[in-house]
Amino acid sequence: MKKSEVTKLLKENINQRGIDNWNEMEAEKCGLKSYGMGLTVHRKLAKQIGKDHELAKQLWDSDYYDHKVISILVDDPKKITREQMEEQVKDIDFGYMVHVFSACGAPVAKTPFIAETALEWAKSDNPVKRRCANGFIYELSKVYTKKAPDDAYFLDYVNHVEKTFPDEPNSVRMSLAGALMGIGKRNVTLNKACLKVARAMGPVPVESGKSKCEPFDVVKHLTSDYLVKKFGL
């Protein structure tokens, strides 16, 4: 598919209410325009378009937020380079870009070097990189193949979270909480380690534009009836 065809798809799904909200909440931060659709629609369109690394590069070079989101979603993890990631992370601190870039099945998180990248970015001076690192760790926590990191990898990360979370801004702390939640669902050992840190951290306030949401309580997730039964706690 060509960039012009993607633009046509986006225009067919334009949402004026979303555009108004974007102009009020995000446009001034990044200087980009938007067709006003939400992430659910972006994902639906990306699935329709399919994986295409060259198209992803073209879509990234745009003054529309939606083009950039689709760019991330349709990229090919086998062709994404570390250099590309380093360039893109400089320009994703707005909208849902960090979330799309690093978590919820993000193609970047499926690259063969993501475990190493996560550890490096977790110690970066850049808070956006640290947020992405936590998203990558969350994605890695869901992998149960031979390629998955071992318990030692995750325990080291939990120790890092324990040492650093008190000084982190809320946006980073939220992503840390997500990483803890993912790790703590893997097995009993990791569950106990994550619960210790989650209890010290406490519920994390959710920053979600105009809407009011309950704080994110990792302890509730890691002590759910399902996990208590699964781990025999």
CA distance to 19, 37, 49, per residue, from 44 (Å) = 19, 11, 9
204: β partners: 216
pLDDT digits (tens, 9 = 90+) for 113-149: 999 999 999 999 999 999 999 999 999 999 999 889 9
DSSP code per residue over 126-168 = -HHHHHHHHHHHHHHHT--STTS--HHHHHHHHHHHHHHGGGS
The region that residue 14 occupies, defined by phi over 0 for left and psi between -120 and 50 for alpha, beta otherwise, is: beta
pLDDT digits (tens, 9 = 90+) for 178-228: 999 999 999 999 999 999 999 999 999 887 655 668 899 999 999 999 999
DSSP code per residue over 42-81 = HHHHHHHH---HHHHHHHHSSSBHHHHHHHHHH--TTT--
The whole-number pLDDT of residue 207 equals 75
Confidence (pTM):
0.92
**Closest of 157, 148, 84, 82 to residue 123, by C-alpha:** 157
